Chains A and B, each alone.
Chain A
Amino acid sequence: MTGNDKAPETVRILGPDGTVEDPAAREALDLKEEDLRALYRFMALARQVDLECTALQRQGELAVYPPLIGQEAAQVGSAYALAEEDFVFPSYREAAVALVRGIDLVEYMHFHRGTRHGGITDPIGKRFAEISVPVSSQTLHAVGWSMGARKDNLNACSIVYFGDGATSQGDFHEACNFAGVFGAPVIFFCQNNGWAISVPTEKQTAGAISEKAVGYGFPGVRVDGNDVLATYMVTREAAQRARTEHVPTLIEAVTYRMGPHSTADDRSRYQPTEQIESWQAQDPLVRYRAFLEAEDAIDATFLDQVEKDAKELAATIRAGIAGAPPRDVREMFDWVWAEVPPVLQRQRDEVTELLRGHEGPDA
Chain B
Amino acid sequence: MPEITMGQAINEALRFSLAEDDRVLILGEDVGKLGGVFRITDKLQAEFGDDRVFDTPLAEAGIMGVSIGLALAGWKPVPEMQFDAFSYPALDQVICHVGKYRFRSANTASMPIVMRIPCGGGIGAAEHHSESPESYYAHTSGLKVVIPSTPLDAFNLMVRAIRDPDPVIFFEPKGRYWSKESGELDPNGLPIGASRVVREGTHGTLVTWGGMLPRCLAAAEAAAEDGVELEVLDLRCLVPLDVDGLVASAKKTGRVVVVHEAPMTGGFGGEIVARVVEEAFDHLEAPVLRVTGYDLPYPPATVEEHYLPSVERILLAVQKTLNH
Residues of A that sit less than 8 Å from B by CB: 87, 89, 116-124, 129-130, 132-134, 137, 139-149, 151-152, 158, 170-171, 174-175, 177-178, 181, 331-332, 334-338, 341-344
**B72 to A117, Cβ gap below 8 A?**
no
**B62 to A178, Cβ gap below 8 A?**
yes
**A174 to B68, Cβ gap below 8 A?**
no
Q: Is B187 an interface residue (CB 8 A)?
A: no
Q: Provide 28 A-B residue pairs closer than 8 Å at the C-beta atoms, listed in order of the A residue.
A: A87-B73, A116-B106, A117-B103, A118-B105, A123-B108, A129-B72, A130-B104, A133-B96, A141-B65, A141-B66, A144-B65, A144-B73, A148-B69, A148-B73, A151-B73, A170-B89, A171-B62, A174-B62, A175-B65, A177-B57, A178-B56, A178-B66, A181-B57, A337-B102, A337-B142, A337-B240, A338-B165, A342-B244
**Known contacts A140-B69, A151-B75; A177/B62 CB under 8 A:** yes
Bound-state Cα–Cα, A124 to B68, Å? 12
Q: Is B319 an interface residue (CB 8 A)?
A: no
**A130 to B69, Cβ gap below 8 A?**
no
**A336 to B141, Cβ gap below 8 A?**
yes
**A147 to B56, Cβ gap below 8 A?**
no
Chain B residue nearest to A119 in the complex (CB): B104
**B109 to A124, Cβ gap below 8 A?**
yes
Bound-state Cα–Cα, A120 to B107, Å? 10
Sample of 9 more A-B contacts, CB < 8 Å, known A137-B96, A337-B144: A121-B108, A140-B64, A141-B66, A144-B65, A144-B69, A171-B62, A174-B61, A334-B107, A342-B240
**B166 to A118, Cβ gap below 8 A?**
no
Sort chain B's interface into a size bin: 35 or more
| Residues on the A chain within 8 Å of B69, using CB | 89, 140-148, 158
Q: Name B165-193 residues within 8 Å CB distance of A.
A: 165-166, 193
B47-68 CB contact bits vs A (8 Å, 1 = yes)? 0000100001101011011111
**A117 to B108, Cβ gap below 8 A?**
no
**A144 to B67, Cβ gap below 8 A?**
yes
| Residues on the B chain within 8 Å of A139, using CB | 65
> How many interface contacts (CB-CB < 8 Å) are there between A and B?
150
Bound-state Cα–Cα, A334 to B102, Å? 10
Expressed in whole angstroms, the minimum distance between the Cβ of B257 and any Cβ of chain A is 22
Bound-state Cα–Cα, A146 to B69, Å? 8
B103: which of A89, A158, A336 is its contact (CB, 8 Å)?
A: A336
**A122 to B65, Cβ gap below 8 A?**
no
B125-140 CB contact bits vs A (8 Å, 1 = yes)? 0000000000000000
Q: Is B110 an interface residue (CB 8 A)?
A: yes
Lowest 7 CB-CB distances: which A-B pairs, in order?
A144-B69, A140-B65, A148-B73, A118-B104, A341-B240, A144-B66, A174-B62
**Known contacts A118-B105, A148-B74, A175-B62; A343/B57 CB under 8 A:** no
Expressed in whole angstroms, the minimum distance between the Cβ of A157 and any Cβ of chain B is 12
Expressed in whole angstroms, the minimum distance between the Cβ of B137 and any Cβ of chain A is 14
Bound-state Cα–Cα, A181 to B56, Å? 9
Expressed in whole angstroms, the minimum distance between the Cβ of A91 and any Cβ of chain B is 13
Bound-state Cα–Cα, A95 to B102, Å? 22
A117: which of B68, B73, B104, B110 is its contact (CB, 8 Å)?
A: B104
Expressed in whole angstroms, the minimum distance between the Cβ of B69 and any Cβ of chain A is 2
Chain A residue nearest to B51 in the complex (CB): A151
Bound-state Cα–Cα, A137 to B57, Å? 17
| Residues on the A chain within 8 Å of B31, using CB | none
**B101 to A338, Cβ gap below 8 A?**
no
| Residues on the A chain within 8 Å of B166, using CB | 337-338
Q: Is B92 an interface residue (CB 8 A)?
A: yes
Bound-state Cα–Cα, A132 to B88, Å? 21
Expressed in whole angstroms, the minimum distance between the Cβ of B64 and any Cβ of chain A is 8
**A174 to B57, Cβ gap below 8 A?**
yes
Expressed in whole angstroms, the minimum distance between the Cβ of A86 and any Cβ of chain B is 12
B105: which of A130, A144, A158, A331 is its contact (CB, 8 Å)?
A: A130
Q: Is B283 an interface residue (CB 8 A)?
A: no
**A140 to B62, Cβ gap below 8 A?**
yes
| Residues on the A chain within 8 Å of B61, using CB | 140, 170-171, 174
Q: Name B202-242 residues within 8 Å CB distance of A.
A: 239-241
B242-260 CB contact bits vs A (8 Å, 1 = yes)? 0110000000000000000
Q: Name B80-103 residues within 8 Å CB distance of A.
A: 89, 92-93, 96-97, 100-103
Q: Is B4 an interface residue (CB 8 A)?
A: no
Chain B residue nearest to A179 in the complex (CB): B66
Expressed in whole angstroms, the minimum distance between the Cβ of B213 and any Cβ of chain A is 23
Chain A residue nearest to B73 in the complex (CB): A148
**A123 to B72, Cβ gap below 8 A?**
yes
Chain B residue nearest to A129 in the complex (CB): B72
| Residues on the A chain within 8 Å of B72, using CB | 87, 123-124, 129, 141, 144-145, 148
Bound-state Cα–Cα, A121 to B61, Å? 26
A341: which of B108, B165, B193 is its contact (CB, 8 Å)?
A: B193
